[in-house]
Chains A and B, each alone.
Chain A
Amino acid sequence: MQFFKSMDIDFIGSRRKFFVVAVSLLLMTITAFIYRGGPNYGIDFAGGVLMQISFRDNNTALHDIRSAIEEAGVKSFELQSSENFILIRAKKTLKSQEEFKNLIKDSIQAKFPDNPMKVERIEYVGPAVGEYLSKQAIYAFLFAFLGMVAYVAFRFKSGLWGIAAVLGVIHDIIACFGFIILANKEVNIIVVAALLTLAGYSINDTIVLFDRIKENLKLCVKENFAAIINKSINEVLVRTVVTSLMVFIVASSLFFFGGEVLHTFAYIMVIGTVLGVFSSVFICAPFVYELEIRRSNRLKAAIKQSVTRSK
């Protein structure tokens, strides 16, 4: 079985169209950012308390729980209900988490005396820890990017290629972030892990493509650069689609059956695998083309200049 036999699509010729798509994805992120007033940072970064509770009889009305918590004197909180549990989130505005927890527990239980409540999960993150975790996340991204640029630059003996590869990754991460904000998903540590994994997979696709371009550059010296890049993209396209499909399948399975904790993680991986293919084929390769053409033009101009000067 084979999805498609040999193909001959002119990717480089229509690179401007794909740049437009890439830029509009980035604009979407900015629009979403402004529209939503920034990302919805979870308690990992913002600090606060998260409680997951369940009742023996789960037909408890959400507004009853809301009023119970409000009566306890807690003003700013979010409620989220699912099939068999309820999540209560309160960011910042905390004096003592222990007190807060007991307050909520008691007030809810008092409202539903005949329906025993169970606290399934508690997460409390103090402000100092939130700051620390944010800093760690930024370091992780920074060092991972630097490491990737350095490695790609080393392997392809060109800083330009390294930068082109990482530009694709940064595009994927920003676009993915846009989808996170649009879906109003909470940004927590797991999101950071998903984005970094995505970065790894996205650059993976780019490297396979770059390797092929490098190989073809040696094999077909006579053809022009655009033709070589086109040929390379067409040759690795099947592989990129099949591999990404595998990751996509697993991510979808985690998304649908993995439960609440893995939900956002899987959501990012699902979107990310599609973006990863897009960026390596439509951004990184054309970018390398643009950068290399400009460099060779500059080189030609410099040669011309020195030739005229010597005359």
Chain B
Amino acid sequence: MSKINWKLWITFALLAFSVWILWPSLKWSMMSVDKREQAEKEKSPILGKVLKLGLDLKGGTHLLLEVDSSQLGGNIKIKDAVDRATEIIRSRIDQFGVAEPMIVKQGDKWIVVQLPGIKDPQAAKALIGKTALLEFRIVNTSQKASEVLALFRKKGITPSQYRENPSSYHDIETAMPEGGTIFESKEDTGTYYVLDKVLLTGAALTNAKVSFGEFEQPAVSIEFNKDGGRVFADITEKNIERNLAIVLDGIVQSAPRINVKIPDGKALITGNSDAEDAKLLATALRTGALPAPVKIIEERTVGPSLGDDSIKKGFMSSLIGIMIVFVFMVVYYRTSGIIADIALGLNLIMLMATMAYFQFTITLPGVAGIALTLAMAVDANVLILERIREELAIGKTARVAVDAGYKKVFWTIFDANLTTLIAAVFLFEFGTGPIKGFAVTLSIGLIISMFTSVTVTKLIYEFLFKENLLLKIKV
């Protein structure tokens, strides 16, 4: 087998492989909306193979959350808090059932949350942002505290009513012990606690699970991290025989009594009424509370109908532009134009296959990037063909002119593509969501064009010359 044939076979193999990669996407685009929804519900394996659309095309919500570090306890590192918040948000979203969500840390205290195709972004946002701040506070049993409790009973108001507007209950405000606040209890309505200031928050907890105490009664064992454990040891030493309230979302979950000093950060909460109760408390402790409140500092939500509209418009406008380029090449360069168009078509197929294979996200600017890249990929062929024209003009034969054309412009093409690639790389590095998608299609298209517009077109010429199909060249 000759060298040319061998290269042609490789090109065909690459084409076949690309089509095979794109096959699931093709099947997907033929599916009805109902079938697609069903596949998403069943988490069908086809989902991992189809072209991945960005939120701007598919519809969905992008959120950037900031962990409020000012509300962290002094001993807790911001990094640990953000890691934990990321974990907790992930588990909350899993409960919500979004197909292929993305939750990642960004920078020091930001978390990116992407929820593609979500139907009710409002509810999801409420669930994610629900702080349910978990706090540990000592129950205040002073004279003043019992006065406050008496006042509440007399007035018949609830602690939340008071906390909303403390200045309108002046007598309670003055009676309140310094740093204290009043809370409801989870178990018994009408039982209130006056609690001192926050000593530890949920960020210090590393684990909470159901276990059983000495006499097989259900209990919850909790574990603090190193810093939290030290603080906990200090608290338990100073407050023996007092009650430590676990406050979740402004409600006292449990207020176990401190019996002994706990030096190692591992404690057992006993006295739960049953195993179910202990389980609920453990879950609440584990995932119920973010280590600190999170704030939505960026939101981008695109409705599904707008996404569809963007797909149609982006696709149509790109197609129209590319079709004109195709036609122009044939009219302007004849046979050589057809060869350039073949390379262009191959570039498009391989670009899409690469996007599907690596599961890169296609965004609306990304679609524009594909169209622009194809227009720019023509450049290599224009450079070569103009050079061949020059070589022919000085009287060289077709075959020699083609060889000289390719040889002379190769480094020009390489340089030109590489500098555009430099721009694309920094765009990717510093860009966000949709822009990253643009940088990706631009870069991949450029790299593929080095193969299709230079290697493949040359191969076609060599093949045509060898088979004596092309004796004279008209460009």
Using a CB–CB cutoff of 8 Å, the interface residues on chain A facing chain B are 1-2, 52, 97-98, 118-126, 128-129, 133, 136-137, 139-140, 143-144, 147-148, 151-152, 155, 189-190, 192-193, 196-197, 199-201, 203-204, 207-208, 211-212, 215, 235-236, 238-239, 242-243, 245-247, 249-254, 256-259, 261-262, 265-266, 269
Contacts and interface: CB of A to CB of B under 8 A. Distances in A.
Nearest to B61: A122
Contacts of A192: 431, 435
Interface in B419-444: 419-427, 429-432, 434-435, 438-439, 442
A164 to B, nearest CB: 14
Contact of B306 (A120, A193, A204): A120
B423 A249 contact: no
Interface string B135-157: 00000000000000000000000
Interface in B319-350: 320-322, 324-325, 328, 331-334
B426 A151 contact: no
B78 to A, nearest CB: 15
8 tightest CB-CB pairs across the interface, nearest first?
A253-B321, A250-B321, A200-B420, A200-B423, A259-B313, A126-B297, A257-B317, A140-B430
Contacts of A147: 422-423, 425-426
The SS class assigned to the B binding surface is helix
B375 A265 contact: no
Given A123-B299, A250-B372, A193 B435 contact: yes
B419 A190 contact: no
A252 B432 CA distance: 25
A141 B92 CA distance: 39
A262 B427 contact: no
The SS class assigned to the A binding surface is helix
The listed residue with most A CB atoms (<10 A of its CB), out of B56, B309, B317, B374, is B317
Contacts of B419: 148, 151-152, 200, 203-204, 207
A261 B437 CA distance: 14
Contact of A126 (B298, B374, B408, B429): B298
B348 to A, nearest CB: 13
B376 A247 contact: yes
22 contacts: A1-B334, A97-B296, A126-B296, A129-B64, A144-B422, A189-B432, A190-B434, A190-B435, A197-B372, A200-B420, A200-B424, A203-B420, A204-B379, A215-B408, A238-B386, A246-B325, A253-B371, A257-B320, A258-B314, A259-B317, A262-B365, A265-B368
A252 B421 CA distance: 23
B299 A193 contact: no
Interface of B: 56, 64, 66, 125, 295-303, 305-306, 309-310, 313-314, 316-318, 320-322, 324-325, 328, 331-334, 364-365, 368, 371-372, 374-376, 378-379, 382-383, 386, 389-390, 408, 411-412, 415-427, 429-432, 434-435, 438-439, 442
A76 to B, nearest CB: 20
B313 A128 contact: no
B431 A136 contact: yes
Contact of A250 (B316, B375, B420, B439): B375
A199 B421 CA distance: 11
Contacts of B368: 254, 258, 262, 265-266
B475 to A, nearest CB: 9
A265 B365 contact: yes
Contact of A253 (B317, B364, B390, B442): B317
Contact of A235 (B324, B390, B422): B390
A127 to B, nearest CB: 8
B298 A204 contact: no
